[in-house]
Amino acid sequence: MVDTSPIPVTVLSGFLGAGKTTLLRYLLQAEHGLKLAVIENEFSDAGIDTELLGNAPVQVVTLANGCVCCSIHTDLTKALFLLLEQLDAGEIAFDRLVIECTGLADPAPVAQTFFIEEELRDRYVLDGIVTLVDAVHAGEHFKQTIAQAQVGFADRLLVSKTDLVTPEDFDLLSQRLARINNRAPIRVVEHGEIDLAELLDIRGFNLNTEVASALSPPPMLIGQSADRIRSMVLRTEKPLDLDRLSDFMNRLLEGHGRQLLRYKGVLSIAGEERRLVFQGVLKLYGFDWDRPWEHGQARVSVLVFIGDDLPEASIREAFGLV
């Protein structure tokens, strides 16, 4: 009998030279006992195995440790369906999927694929977006907004080449990353090797996960930040009016939906004992009622937005009316 439970998907992002391919080689060659499939985009900075790259739109090869390497020369959706066809036919076996984005790629379209395509939504579940950051060249990379956006979309940040910078420079970089994305934990990756628990089962797109990282403000950078992508946290102890909250979010998405990279909230609604949780990517979002607030627990509403050049002052003013 074919197992049709959703397959967790990890999206791997990061700028050119940050170490995505080195990490993918580790995933494909390590004896970790997992049944991983890795989709490598043809435009990566260095192929995992150039012998796998041919003229076929999709090349699928099972490696010695049981992992599946898929090199694509076509759109991602076709590759995802092909993997399912081969899985269902018993030609390959995997229970987790890792997708590499190209160095200059926006991870948003990849993430949206798993929300828009109904059949893919039934068979795959987006577990998290992981972004690699080159500690040596981050300053230069962040001059391009797309590199900042890759950090903004992330559920977890992996910093490579930390052995080539001073502890002070790494500390400043960590502060900058927290300013861009305060909800993503920062981890160090050494020569592509990292505990797989840092990459898998992140549950970054689960509605009922906490936003604990937003409960304390991010460290402030010295001087004025030039980054367009920044975290913004809205917090209130006042019970929120559900209709006003809906109007606030509708206006925000209508005016700035393309600027809202990731957002998440746990909210206290007036007259309701349950927490309202929601999250979104750009204009795609979901919400649901969660568990009741605990007895004696402070009912604090927290909204975390990671956005591109958002008008923070006007958003805070509008939220104050909710």
Question: 143 Cβ partners below 8 Å, 6+ apart?
Answer: none
Q: What angle is formed at CA 136 by the lines to CA 133 and CA 139, rounded to 5 degrees?
A: 75
Report the pLDDT averaged over residues 155-159.
Answer: 96
**Residue 294 located in a structural domain:** yes
Global pTM value: 0.85
How far is it, in rounded angstroms, from Cα 281 to Cα 283?
Answer: 6
User: What is the pLDDT confidence band of residue 178, given thresholds at 50, 70 and 90?
Assistant: very high
φ/ψ region of 187 (left if φ > 0, alpha if ψ in -120 to 50, else beta) reads beta
* Position with higher pLDDT, 70 vs 103: 70
Going from the C-alpha of 200 to that of each of 18, 159, 196, the distances in angstroms are 19, 17, 6
User: What is the pLDDT confidence band of residue 58, given thresholds at 50, 70 and 90?
Assistant: low
Please state the φ and ψ torsions of residue 223, each to the nearest 5 degrees. 85, 180
The residue among 198, 226, 246 that closes a domain is: 198
Question: Cβ distance 304 to 263 under 8 Å?
Answer: yes
162 and 222 together in one domain: no
**Residue 264 located in a structural domain:** yes
Tally the domains of the chain.
2
* Position with higher pLDDT, 134 vs 73: 134
Convert the pLDDT of each residue in 255-281 to its tens digit. 999 899 999 999 999 999 999 998 898
160 and 247 together in one domain: no
User: What is the pLDDT confidence band of residue 246, given thresholds at 50, 70 and 90?
Assistant: very high
Domain hosting residue 236, numbered range: 212-319
**Would you list the DSSP string of 293-317?**
PPTT----EEEEEEEES--HHHHHH
Residue 54's pLDDT is 47
- Give the CA radius of gyration of the chain: 20
**Residue 203 located in a structural domain:** no
Per-residue tokens: 137: 């060249």
Residue 12's pLDDT is 93
Residue 65's pLDDT is 77
Residue 270's pLDDT is 95
**Residue 139 located in a structural domain:** yes
Going from the C-alpha of 15 to that of each of 63, 69, 101, 133, 141, the distances in angstroms are 27, 21, 9, 7, 7
Strand ranges inside the chain, DSSP E = 7-14, 36-41, 58-62, 68-72, 96-100, 124-134, 156-160, 186-188, 229-236, 260-268, 274-281, 284-292, 301-308
